[in-house]
Structure 1
Amino acid sequence: MTIRVLVADDQAMVRGGLRMILEDQPDITVVGEAADGAEAVELARRLRPDVCLVDIRMPRLDGIEVTRALAGPGVADPLRVVVVTTFDLDEYVYGALRGGAVGFVLKDAGPGLLVEAVRAADAGDALVSPSVTLRLLRHLTGPPAAGARGSERPLTDREAEVVRAIGRGRTNQEIAAELFISLSTVKSHLSGIQAKLGLRNRVEVAAWAWENGLMGQR
């Protein structure tokens, strides 16, 4: 099935560039473009895309306000929002993720990560640019918190390697290359890890790795 995407950015050249990157993929199509936040909300509610790519700084409504309107708590039928921005300020990251975004990707991260974020969002997963992930998760370094979650089903050595790679902000493709395994095997390990640990997505897996002291292990 084709993933239907809405692109919201106040710069026409950026919207055009994102469209070119996405529509170069056989499984993705751009169904609409919005030049400001209010238009993004209106189009998203009317078109019901599978994924909304939203810039942070836009006229009328900013990206965080758009995210809350489309995916925030209390939204009856939330959409999947991925924030795509030049700015990785903590206030934007926290605001977007608290507002319901399932991804936060920097524009300089490259087309591969953008496409992976769209596919992850469509699959119900979450993806945050590695540099942003690392900065957020390093606040969790140190001994495990008192309420840190464990698992009655211990991770295998390979699963632990995958978890540590996710904690370092690696994408699935990078993990496959580092561990000399296929992309499908990485995805299979990730699904098993989430099931064992009771976690919803890779961002929570990364947080679990830091909270439970795996990042200091070899």
Structure 2
Amino acid sequence: MTAATLDSTAVAQYLVDHPQFFVEHAALLGEVKLSSPLTGRTVSLQERQMEVMRDKYRALELRLSELVRHAEENAAIANRFHGWTRQLLRTRAHADIPSAVADGLVEHFIVPQATLRLWKLPAEHADAWYTNGVSEDVRLFASSLRAPYCGPNKEFEAVGWLAGAEPAGADTVRSTVLLPLRTGASAFGLLVLGSPDPDRFSAAMATDFLVHIGETASTALAPLLG
């Protein structure tokens, strides 16, 4: 290789192919001078290598901190889900299960408002709070949901079911979650979560965990179908 054809790429490849180069020429480590992007001053190859290693270490620290944060958040969610599930399992009377589902979400997940409505139930439930005020439009809407709705309150009729909420479109509920309750492909109810915070339930939220809530609630409530 001649000086005319020697370029930075060739030098770099040569050093990769000859890892013993700086062992054989250790004196160069102190003589090669580089410009530091951190301080702007000229540093030795050894100093520059230390800067690179520190940058990598800081990046790893940040990544580890992020992983720890996610792990703590997941653990907190798992504990809340566990507490809610235990509450459902302790509820023996079928007529008490709807309240256990909704109140448990408020208690364990710190959801501002939660309620639900059911249909296709035997006549003995006709006068219960959880079967009142369900229109055919709501039933069709629930059946059309193939995934949880999570986002702004678009004047949904079901939002009017929430305790303390005025008719659909009330300003007190700015964001909401709508979860269909199903046995197989058939919807027999709708679970509604609401918040005055427009960012509490956003369209950007992951819905995997909401799906689990819907499935668990559906399983707990299925005995009411008779």
Q: TM-score, normalised by structure 2?
A: 0.25
Structure label with greater radius of gyration = 2
